[in-house]
Amino acid sequence: MKNLKLKAARAAMDLSQQDLADKVGVSRQTINAIEKGDYNPTINLCRSICKVLGRTLDEIFWEDEE
């Protein structure tokens, strides 16, 4: 499942995938894969991403029930 919340939060802070990747210590390809839903990040990476974006785990990674 695509992570549009991550993409939107990143864009709201005017960060490129590369900018976010640099801040959390992963490759741009990793951020791209998370946003596309092709990679399930570790909890530590999720926490790092949320810290950089100033959001909670629920705000970025919780899947809404449909």
Does domain 4-61 fall under CATH 2.60.40.10? My reply is no
Domain boundaries, the chain: 4-61
Q: What is the pLDDT of residues 1-33, one digit of tens each?
A: 899 999 999 999 999 999 999 999 999 999 999
The pTM is what? 0.91
Write out the chain in H/E/C secondary structure: CCCHHHHHHHHHCCCCHHHHHHHHCCCHHHHHHHHHCCCCCCHHHHHHHHHHHCCCHHHHHCCCCC
Contacting residues for 33 by C-beta, under 8 A, at least 6 apart: 39
